[in-house]
Structure 1
């Protein structure tokens, strides 16, 4: 008998419907001729607790750390025993097992750990399903692979699970017990990925809190040129009082120059003009979709993940969503006209975009070399009906479809001009852009980035009509949002200070995976380490205190980013899981020696004091606002993001 083990019931039903023969449903399985389809319910097994290895470790004690199992054990989850019993009986009768976990690292682990836990020793094949529609599942069933091919993926996932256990159990116990000595009564959870993410948010909050704004003074001049007028901005020479970004921080030179400019004659001394072509953004990975949906609709990363799961499992409108890939298989190109025509026919917006698509165009997204176990998110071809899904799901489907449709639009073509004028021996710069062909851009926005300049000729003369000096103020960075923190987790090398580590990281190395990033943020919220204030993610007093008390190596992204890199290398047969675990245990010994109750007590008291001071400042500001006459809104200048002072 052939037994197919799916990752979840929805996938099992899709597989059963694609098999020949009459379906017979029983408790925990579906019989289809000589094939039986059963399923997991997410993870049926979990890492055994410390007391399973030694009963003495049920009690939390510092002198028992680190806890490092010599032989790893898995334990059934409390609600999984019934389904595990069903799978155990089937495996005893099976002549062939088909592993039908999701096509990613975690999906490989989830089903295979059950097969190995049951000591099944027969042949195992692998079924990779990325689209739950029947034709796609039928094709996948015709392309079964040897599960042995995916052993490195399993080893990487297993190493990840064990690393999370070692890191989380030992450091959480150490700092919770240290916290009790410092007067904190709750659990202080520390995680291999969650703590560096919390560290990013805390350090951003601290930067904003400690930021001291200062004024700077851009000078503009309106110029008459041969074919019109334009505005140019002064580029002060290096001998002027400038900050690191070249902004003038002493108004005196600007005031002296502005009085001399009206009526002054000058010349266009440098002119750069070029036509640029920009291809459409690639189809989405999950994280890229989470970033865009957070920016456009204010959706949390978890809300996007949940919506995509519904579109995939319940509505069967999109392909497998937990993908880190932004490319599509080359074989999908020929059938994409039919897929998109069917998917978009009932939606006015999508149908309008569909009418402008040129399906003879072949963009760079069709690239088998860039596609791994899964490909970018795409419609399946099932007709979309906005009234049959939630508002969030409809918005997500439109975004996913839009990015695939955009592959059949021409590039955005612009004519860009950069001009430098010399007046009174000073340099003034202007830039403009003219859209020659909007291409795919109207699918994304109707806003123009910058207005065009009048026609210009190298060496032509100009005359200053008027000039002015603006007073602006530097601004701190923005608080992290769901969009910006997911983007930071995707591209963590930008937040790594160590130049040696940064050199070893690829642009694609990140914290967490597509499947876990949303959950990490929700975990931090649930544990009281961060809160959402409107769209901003802010650290709580407890979150700030924990980061201040932990060794810096635990809360900065360097180590975890390198570990993620090693896990990817294990999956690609370029590293060894045992060596990875050995290095992690060595790290644990060094980190545990740094637990310090005095430091934690001080950080808790400091965070409490800063929170109280912030509250007093807010109360004082609100009280003052009731007496102050309105003075108008401060404007932001798009070119610098700075505040313009009135």
Structure 2
């Protein structure tokens, strides 16, 4: 008897196979005496497209909308069909008696495996592995405590509901907008209200009118004193007040002393980690998640990344000394704590009631090998470790002194009495408290200031707003932001986000219900109710269909004008329509604006890896009357492709090879394996 284990990615399958002694490796799985370990490549299946239900739906027309299949069905993704076929062969084996779902322990992970088992009509017992770290110890413990898969049926229902809702809303509204306005306009259940948040903040900034105001401060040797309530004064009132306060000595009339205590912060959840990494290092949410995923999967030094909890379960208390010992060689502050087996001081972190599917981000028992970490990975790991060490340190304490001076001036001083978890705070600097009657010499200064406009949303503040408004989940927010950027609806400007002219128009073309968070937040709450068994999936989908119909009808009835800012004056040589600029990873393309024409070309010449024989800079690839040729834009030297060394197949340099390998190892594409994507890119380079 053998157990078939389905992991989400090849790297995770390798870790599982090692622990389960499945040492015989083939192209599609690992095999051992008791276990066969195989993997998906992200999703192997997807919801069918409209034309799969009805051939007539392949053509984009307003009359067919909204598209409402009677029953949503799934189909294989073509680029990962070989892996699905291999799994199909494994489930039919007579020696396979049961399966274990070992995909990511979350909503999407459940969907990956369940779709595979449902599509292949697997009718044998199925169990679920639910772990929060990828260490050998966690894997062994997880397999010793497998749960029946039906315990997660509601989670699967919620995952199906999310996928179907995104299909119904996103596909129908996107088709309606694209056909109506003859431009690629992408709308979605979550991405459109997210775009609305950025636009709303921009509108507040645009409407803001700065106001000049004046304030008075008293400069003393013991610090700067403010007027009580620090009022905003007019120029005349401030000058008059300053003239009244021309005395040079101010006495202390009253003293207030307050003890302040601050506990160490709880471990990060994913959203807060992405926020801090963006503020401190300007990392995008996607970049933070990618680094974190490597720390979890490849190095096994942190717990499950896609968590929305900052608390730990009670059963983790016993593991804390081992985790502390694992990082003691990496962080000097951890060494003395590990040596004396320090207990966790911040005991509030252990709260089972506040842990959802996964607990907060903390180090595992695996000893880190920092020499293997990339720079980004090290920064993310350092943030997690610093929070973890704080749990073993006492509270930060300070004494705050507030002095009431003559003429309603207030002076404040702070003395750190215990640095606690803020080990970098200088606690040696002492403050000499002032007593009642102490006289201070000082000068009253008039300060001219402006009221400050609201700041545009950065990725960090957008993540906070998305969490507050209930838009998306920790697992999906980074992807949503990236989709808005790649679809040309939003751009990164320095450290801030900005809605493009195309994005601004999109927000005016759809119903306000889809541009504000309320409706989408309600849907997300209902998905969580499905997870908890409090709502039936069919009821949720019925609401989605009604909302989709309304949204599509609004687009059909709309008389709003649309201007395509990406349309150029260049003409398509095939049909005569104007060409539209489209930003891609390979540069800017000129694409025919006619929906029924497939013509496109590069706007700028393609830069190749072929080097100029004179200046050794990269040459561009052009096409002339006699075929393709290389040209150096610096020296104007030309060279025929056939005459070039290697017949035009430019050799990749060290940096480009590294980028290709990074794509192969990324293994994070939902619809297509990273290997397939990388090979496709490599083949495209060879063809050029």
- Is TM-score (shorter-chain normalized) higher than 0.5? yes
Name the structure 2 match of 1:57. 57
Deviation string for 1:128-159 (max 9, x for gaps)? 13222212111111010111111111111111
Deviation string for 1:53-75 (max 9, x for gaps)? 22221111112111122111011
Deviation string for 1:169-210 (max 9, x for gaps)? 111011112222xxxxx3100011111111111222232233
- The question of whether the paired residues in 1 share the 8 Å contact of 2:249 and 2:442 is answered with no
**Aligned mates of 1:402, 1:461 — CA distance in 2:** 43
- The question of whether the paired residues in 2 share the 8 Å contact of 1:549 and 1:599 is answered with no
**Aligned mates of 1:176, 1:350 — CA distance in 2:** 57
SS in 1 for 2:391: helix
Pair 602,120 (structure 1): closer, same or farther in 2 beyond 3 Å: closer
Name the structure 2 match of 1:627. none
Compute the displacement of 1:377 (Å).
Answer: 1.5
Compute the displacement of 1:334 (Å).
Answer: 2.4
- The question of whether the paired residues in 2 share the 8 Å contact of 1:221 and 1:232 is answered with yes
Name the structure 2 match of 1:253. 237
- The question of whether the paired residues in 2 share the 8 Å contact of 1:363 and 1:408 is answered with no
- The question of whether the paired residues in 2 share the 8 Å contact of 1:229 and 1:454 is answered with no
Alignment of structure 1 residues 602-621 onto 2, 5 Å: none
Match of 1:523 among 483, 497, 505: 483
SS in 2 for 1:441: coil
- The question of whether the paired residues in 2 share the 8 Å contact of 1:350 and 1:402 is answered with no
Deviation string for 1:47-92 (max 9, x for gaps)? 1101222222111111211112211101111112111112222222
Pair 347,271 (structure 1): closer, same or farther in 2 beyond 3 Å: closer
SS in 1 for 2:479: helix
Pair 231,328 (structure 1): closer, same or farther in 2 beyond 3 Å: same
Deviation string for 1:432-456 (max 9, x for gaps)? 33211111113xx5489xx997535
**Aligned mates of 1:367, 1:514 — CA distance in 2:** 20
Pair 78,572 (structure 1): closer, same or farther in 2 beyond 3 Å: same
SS in 2 for 1:95: strand
**Aligned mates of 2:243, 2:75 — CA distance in 1:** 80
Q: Does residue 401 of structure 1 match 2:378?
A: no
SS in 1 for 2:554: coil
SS in 2 for 1:63: coil
Name the structure 2 match of 1:157. 159
- The question of whether the paired residues in 2 share the 8 Å contact of 1:8 and 1:42 is answered with yes
Match of 2:433 among 444, 455, 459: 455
Name the structure 1 match of 2:206. 209
Q: Does residue 299 of structure 1 match 2:283?
A: yes
**Aligned mates of 1:309, 1:265 — CA distance in 2:** 61
Compute the displacement of 1:211 (Å).
Answer: 2.4
Name the structure 2 match of 1:171. 173
- The question of whether the paired residues in 1 share the 8 Å contact of 2:215 and 2:233 is answered with no
Name the structure 1 match of 2:149. 147
SS in 1 for 2:474: coil
Name the structure 1 match of 2:225. 232
Compute the displacement of 1:355 (Å).
Answer: 7.6
Deviation string for 1:350-406 (max 9, x for gaps)? 658868983353522122222232221222232223221111111111111111111
Alignment of structure 1 residues 545-584 onto 2, 5 Å: 545-584=505-544
Match of 1:99 among 92, 98, 101: 101
Name the structure 1 match of 2:643. none
**Aligned mates of 2:239, 2:339 — CA distance in 1:** 56
Q: Does residue 341 of structure 1 match 2:325?
A: yes
Name the structure 2 match of 1:490. 467
Compute the displacement of 1:431 (Å).
Answer: 3.4
- The question of whether the paired residues in 2 share the 8 Å contact of 1:262 and 1:465 is answered with no
Match of 1:361 among 342, 345, 366: 345
- The question of whether the paired residues in 2 share the 8 Å contact of 1:5 and 1:40 is answered with yes
**Runs (5+) with no aligned partner, structure 1:** 181-185, 237-245, 493-509, 609-646
Pair 530,96 (structure 1): closer, same or farther in 2 beyond 3 Å: same
Name the structure 2 match of 1:500. none
Compute the displacement of 1:269 (Å).
Answer: 6.7
Pair 356,296 (structure 1): closer, same or farther in 2 beyond 3 Å: farther
**Aligned mates of 1:566, 1:315 — CA distance in 2:** 36
Compute the displacement of 1:481 (Å).
Answer: 1.4
**Aligned mates of 1:321, 1:59 — CA distance in 2:** 41
Match of 2:419 among 424, 427, 438: 438
Deviation string for 1:259-308 (max 9, x for gaps)? 11122887767754321221111111111111111111111111111101
SS in 2 for 1:233: strand
Alignment of structure 1 residues 589-604 onto 2, 5 Å: 589-595=549-555, 600-601=560-561
- The question of whether the paired residues in 1 share the 8 Å contact of 2:4 and 2:36 is answered with yes
Larger helix proportion of the pair: 1
Name the structure 1 match of 2:547. 587
- The question of whether the paired residues in 2 share the 8 Å contact of 1:327 and 1:375 is answered with yes
Name the structure 2 match of 1:638. none
Name the structure 2 match of 1:631. none
**Aligned mates of 1:25, 1:537 — CA distance in 2:** 46
**Aligned mates of 1:487, 1:354 — CA distance in 2:** 35
Pair 434,356 (structure 1): closer, same or farther in 2 beyond 3 Å: farther
- The question of whether the paired residues in 2 share the 8 Å contact of 1:294 and 1:300 is answered with yes
SS in 1 for 2:318: coil
Compute the displacement of 1:592 (Å).
Answer: 2.1
**Aligned mates of 1:271, 1:179 — CA distance in 2:** 69
Compute the displacement of 1:114 (Å).
Answer: 1.3
Pair 170,249 (structure 1): closer, same or farther in 2 beyond 3 Å: farther
- RMSD over aligned CA atoms reads 2.8
**Aligned mates of 1:85, 1:596 — CA distance in 2:** 43
- The question of whether the paired residues in 1 share the 8 Å contact of 2:395 and 2:421 is answered with yes
Name the structure 1 match of 2:583. none
Q: Figure out how many residues of one structure are paired with residues of the other and give that number.
A: 564
TM-score (norm 2): 0.77
Q: Does residue 412 of structure 1 match 2:396?
A: yes
- The question of whether the paired residues in 2 share the 8 Å contact of 1:216 and 1:247 is answered with no
**Aligned mates of 1:311, 1:598 — CA distance in 2:** 49
Pair 114,279 (structure 1): closer, same or farther in 2 beyond 3 Å: same
**Aligned mates of 1:461, 1:428 — CA distance in 2:** 14
Name the structure 2 match of 1:121. 123
Pair 190,355 (structure 1): closer, same or farther in 2 beyond 3 Å: farther
**Aligned mates of 1:262, 1:355 — CA distance in 2:** 61
Pair 548,101 (structure 1): closer, same or farther in 2 beyond 3 Å: same
Pair 188,230 (structure 1): closer, same or farther in 2 beyond 3 Å: same
**Aligned mates of 2:382, 2:340 — CA distance in 1:** 16
SS in 2 for 1:583: helix
**Aligned mates of 1:146, 1:548 — CA distance in 2:** 48
TM-score (norm 1): 0.81
- The question of whether the paired residues in 2 share the 8 Å contact of 1:5 and 1:38 is answered with yes
Pair 596,71 (structure 1): closer, same or farther in 2 beyond 3 Å: closer
Pair 176,466 (structure 1): closer, same or farther in 2 beyond 3 Å: same
Compute the displacement of 1:165 (Å).
Answer: 0.6
- The question of whether the paired residues in 1 share the 8 Å contact of 2:157 and 2:537 is answered with yes
SS in 2 for 1:102: coil
Match of 1:473 among 450, 460, 479: 450
Name the structure 2 match of 1:69. 69
SS in 2 for 1:408: coil
